[in-house]
Amino acid sequence: MVVEQKNVVKGELYVPGDKSISHRAIMVGALAEGVSEIDGFLLNEDCLVTIECFRRMQVGIEILPKNRVKVYGRGLHGLKHYLHPFDTGNSGTTIRLMLGIMAGQKFNSVITGDDRAHKRPMGKVVKHLRTLGANIIGKEDGNYVPFLINTSHLTGATFDFPNSGTQAKSTLLLASLFAEGETVIKERIKSRDHTERMLNAFGANIKVEGDIVRSSAVQELFAQKVYIPGDISCAIYFLAAGLIIPNSEILVKDVGINETRMVIFDVLKKMGAKIEITNVRTIDNATIGDISAKHSELNGITVEPDEVARMIDEVPILALIAAKANGTTVLKEAPEIMQKETNRIKAVSLELSKMGAKITETPEGIIIEGGKNLKGTVVESYNDERIAMALAIAGLVAEGETMIRKPQCVDVAFPEFFDILYRL
């Protein structure tokens, strides 16, 4: 994939539905009684894998025109035994969240994935589920797929999360639907709350008290209508282009602006970004708005550990923005990013450095000296969609042409990405 430098980008656009919410809508809808109607569903590879896994358990799921989906729920205890392993492809979200659901079933199951999934560490999630009583066997003591989930009796427990752990929390909340007693999660760093919101909308018993989340089992969940807003972690790439390319302005419409997802904008505003959110409204419990970004004189800042922990997906594009800002930006402590199947800190440092950025890795994160001119070259995506999309935006500001290897990985998260990019 070749990306050429652009002198200006302007336009209005829409991004696909939020991936995190799309996964959860299928799963919770499958566990509910009745027919759930989902509007704005993200039809990417990862979310289609989730649909296929639940179809294997005899959950009726219809994909309709205009990104609408119907889920014919079977209830909390109505999933049917599937005799073969669930193939989750490269979807780490599907694996982690399904572990929580399958741990509470009255039948054994096996979860596996593709070669990339076999490199995704899952040990923390498995350890937490074992604390509830789950019987999970996996490679390297449960750190990697494939996983065998045996039937077990789950009992509520108390967890203390020192770092942000959205998927670990979500996995436990799904498992708590089948656990005896109360499951309590204390978050020292507040993470995304999509699972709490969705489960409660479907009738779960989850209480949030400051940094403590409490969940107890219920007898049943009830089908709902779900509106999925545009994915903020997809919108950020085009907004970044508006910020760093002179005379540019981008408007992304109908984006989800859940407060637990807004840290990237707080960081950018501290750097001097001209970002504005307008037309804020609520649809089916989803808060959405239109986000605009204008070319800005940006300045380097220090990004604190709690901020880095809450924007793992956004760190690659933030590194690019920092490379074009004035002064030095420091990203402190990013252990969760380093532990992914792609070390995003190392990957983005290497590839942007090839283009002329000055980035120094430290044991805790990266130091970026901004204000450098970038030059197009051949760069590697590492089969990581977040790296590929950040490098594509880098190509817009780099002199000459930038060729991205293995750009097809973007289809996992954002199939329309390059089509929108070339229309700007």
Candidate list 39, 313, 384, 419, residue with the active-site label: 313
Return all residues near 78 (Cβ < 8 A) that are at least 6 apart. none
pLDDT of residue 343: 81
Q: Which of 249, 292, 240, 250 is nearest to 271 (CA)?
A: 240
Which CATH architecture fits 2-15+229-423? Answer: Alpha-beta prism (3.65)
Ordered alpha helix ranges (H), 193-244: 194-201, 232-244
Residue 212 near residue 38, CB atoms below 8 Å: no
- Comparing C-alpha atoms, which of 89, 128, 129, 133 is closest to residue 111? 89
Q: Which helix (H) or strand (E) holds 282?
A: strand 274-283
Per-residue pLDDT reduced to its tens digit, 348-402: 999 999 999 999 988 778 899 999 999 999 999 999 999 999 999 999 999 999 9
Assigned superfamily of 19-227: Enolpyruvate transferase domain (3.65.10.10)
pLDDT band at 152 (very low <50, low <70, confident <90, very high): very high
Catalytic site residue 114? no
Per-residue pLDDT band at 334 (split at 50, 70, 90)? low
Joined together, the tokens standing for residue 371 give: 């204000």
395, containing H or E segment: helix 385-397
Q: 166-224, pLDDT tens digit by residue?
A: 689 999 999 999 999 999 999 888 888 999 999 999 999 999 998 899 999 999 999 99
What would the two tokens of residue 364 be?
């805790």
Per-residue pLDDT at 305: 84
Is the fold of 2-15+229-423 the same as that of 19-227? yes
Is the preceding peptide bond at 162 cis, omega within 30 degrees of 0? no
pLDDT of residue 336: 52
Contact 281, 289 (CB under 8 A): yes
What pLDDT band is residue 335 in, cutting at 50, 70 and 90? Answer: low
Letter for the amino acid at 79?
L
What does the domain layout of the chain look like in residue ranges? Answer: 2-15+229-423, 19-227
User: Is-contact 242 2, C-beta < 8 A?
Assistant: no
CA distance 323 to 334: 18
Q: Report the pLDDT value the prediction gives residue 341, as an integer from 0 to 100.
A: 47
Q: In angstroms, rounded to a whole number, what is the distance separating the alpha carbons of residues 310 and 407?
A: 26
146: preceding bond cis by omega (within 30 degrees): yes
Rounded to two decimals, what is the model's pTM? Answer: 0.91
